[in-house]
Structure 1
Amino acid sequence: MVSPPSTFGTDLDDVKGALGKVDGIAKIEANLKDQLFYIEGTAAPSSIVSAIEATGRDAILRGSGKSNSAGVCILETHANGVSDPVRGLARMVQVSDSRTLVDLTVRGVSPGTYHATIRETGDISRGAASTGGIWDAVKQLAGFSQPRGMFGTLEVGKDGRGSAFLDRPVSVWEIIGRSMVVSKQQQEGAFQTEDRDTLVGVIARSAGVWDNDKTVCSCSGKTVWQERKEQVGKGML
């Protein structure tokens, strides 16, 4: 984790204490000189950032995993007449040969249960309606009872916000360039482009640790701080 010098205090006990309360963190090390925290575990990235922010500091996740093991997907509605179509963000980190963790957050949608799926194509020209069926790679060979593209569900509350930490038997390289759909509609239903509660985005490669510690996504070229300020302004983080 990294925090700007103006908000990074010399007393780290309160930060360590806050992180120590987060489920899934196995190890915490601090480097005051470089203004970094090194954290090991399975906690959701969003929960780590929230814990640090609760101490009055600013923070972002600089990188995770090895080269080619991280992805990001900005989820948007394709309905007309929406001033800000961005409604969600999914960060993906591969933690083993066939296991990827997904930190999924949405906001500005109606309450209810949403299904998150990976689709066959990255064609979002008509929103979710043009993405094809659920990605179903090697289901039979791997012995899965359902398509690996069925990532799970998340619950959105009355405030229009929801988040989920998903764990799926996939590798990041398999899903780069495909699309993710988050919708109330059934996974194989006919998506309606004008449905404001159906979100879609193309999965892009994200910088892994030490690959590029400044750029969050190779598709946009934005620095991690630029991207974070933008997402905070949209209520995503």
Structure 2
Amino acid sequence: PPKSPQNPGRLEFSVEMSCQGCADAVRAALDAVKLLELRPQEQSVLVETTAAAERVQELLENSGCRAVLKGMGAPPGGAAVAALGGPGGVRGLLRFLQLSPGRCIVDGAVTGLPPGPHGLHIHEFGDLSDPCDSCGGHFNPDGETHGGPQDEHRHAGDLGNIWADAEGHARFRIEDSKLKVWDIIGRSVVVAEGEDDLGRGSHPLSRVTGNSGRGLACGVVARAAGLFQNPKRVCSCDGVTLWEERDRSRGASPGTPMETPMETPSPHL
């Protein structure tokens, strides 16, 4: 896929460190990542990176410690999260971080996809009653035609393509100039079955949807915590710790790192 300049974002993780040896292992695991804070007593790690959050979490858990993303950035525009699912078994988790009015980071991981490119779009409605078919058209407050993420004239919800590898995993970090977190809360994110032609094809739907086909997976965008906005370690609704929730949401045995993203965001987000 084409590359574009990336600006670093800050990620806050809770990491299950119980001794100085754990902290040393975490520090070593983050050798290639800019580590801003490591506080073993608070079980807190703060990094600045252009890598996807799932990749940083994988590095942290390679240390042998369980890790959970607690917050992203510290911008006035806030942060959001969307858990994706679909009838075909596609699952994913996307996070949105508004760095400034003209800079929104979309950080995500999706699994269960057919290998190759897939269109990624914000849709107008958060209605999942008929899975992805009830999400409406692409989010388009300015009445533009469909285009690519680098085009001046395009839908605000046009995020281009993500690429799935041979195992069906897509991990990505997109920086978008039109998307604004405060405009998409309650709307939906949809991963399409095919490649988005970015409005450059000859098909009648090229300037409408990028001729990318039906949605394979979708989810509603909800508010998420920023940096240091979520200190809780026990869910007030059921008394489950964030470590237990991490394992339960992934279907893993305690302490087991996962190679695929979570199916649903944990309550602490």
TM-score, with structure 1 as normaliser: 0.78
Matching residue within 52, 57, 60 for 1:52: 60
Shift in CA distance, 224/173, structure 1 to aligned 2, threshold 3 Å: farther
Q: Distance in 2 between matches of 1:229 and 1:58?
A: 9
Q: Distance in 2 between matches of 1:122 and 1:215?
A: 29
Q: Distance in 1 between matches of 2:195 and 2:130?
A: 18
Pairwise CA distance, 1:177: 0.5
- 2:29 is equivalent to residue 4 of structure 1: no
One-letter amino acid matched to 2:64: G
Q: Secondary structure, in 3 states, of the residue corresponding to 2:109? A: strand
1:102 equivalent in structure 2: 106
1:151-170 aligned at under 5 Å gives the runs 151-169=159-177, 170=179
Q: How many residues end up aligned between the 2 structures?
A: 220
Q: Secondary structure, in 3 states, of the residue corresponding to 1:60? A: strand
Shift in CA distance, 97/214, structure 1 to aligned 2, threshold 3 Å: farther
Q: Secondary structure, in 3 states, of the residue corresponding to 1:61? A: strand
2:31 equivalent in structure 1: 20
1:6-85 aligned at under 5 Å gives the runs 6=18, 9-10=20-21, 12-22=23-33, 25=34, 27-66=35-74, 69-78=78-87, 85=89
Whether contact under 8 Å (2:52, 2:108) holds in the other structure is no
Pairwise CA distance, 1:11: 5.6
Q: Mind listing any 5+ residue stretches in structure 2 that lack a counterpart? A: 1-12, 145-150, 197-208, 253-259, 263-269
Q: Mind listing any 5+ residue stretches in structure 1 that lack a counterpart? A: 80-84
Q: Distance in 2 between matches of 1:215 and 1:147?
A: 39
Pairwise CA distance, 1:90: 0.9
Q: Which whole-Å deviations, capped at 9, do the CAs of 1:115-158 have from their partners, x for residues lacking one?
A: 11001111221122111111123477xx8232221113221122
Q: Distance in 1 between matches of 2:38 and 2:180?
A: 30
Shift in CA distance, 137/167, structure 1 to aligned 2, threshold 3 Å: same
TM-score, with structure 2 as normaliser: 0.70
Q: Secondary structure, in 3 states, of the residue corresponding to 1:106? A: strand
Matching residue within 226, 236, 240 for 1:208: 226
